[in-house]
Amino acid sequence: MQKAYVWVSGKEKIAEFYGQRAEVVFKIYNPKVYQNTKIIKGLVVSKGSGHIEGRVKIITNPFTDGKKTKQGDILVSIATTPDIVSAMRKAGAIVTNVGDITSHAAIVSR
């Protein structure tokens, strides 16, 4: 049985995370605020083409982690930097803790 589930959405479902992957997504965000949170909510800045499923790739070191990204991966990062643009191009979805509709991730994703 899965202990954790995360559904990232706007008006339409964008990405789902299960089990350990969901727990990692929770830990990216402030653990004191989200410790007992079952759902992470946020602003969808570029909804893309709808439902996305993929392997979660946590970017903790943009110089090494970005190079390991595969086509369709769901990138999870505190923020995006020019160092991971090549990884962002391969991503099926991008989840960040920092940004809005004018952020680097939003502009590059359009």
Q: Catalytic positions, please? A: 104
Which residue reads 């509709």 in tokens? Answer: 101
Looking at residue 71, what is its pLDDT? 93
Q: What is the pTM of this model?
A: 0.58
What CATH number did the domain enclosing 11 receive?
3.50.30
Total of domains in the chain: 1
Q: Are 15 and 93 in contact (CB under 8 A)?
A: yes
Residue span of the structural domain in which 104 resides: 5-109
Neighbouring residues of 102: CB distance < 8 A, sequence distance ≥ 6: none
User: Nearest Cα to 55, choosing from 86, 36, 76?
Assistant: 76
Query: Per residue in 93-108, pLDDT tens?
Result: 888 877 777 777 777 7
Query: Per residue in 47-58, pLDDT tens?
Result: 777 777 778 888
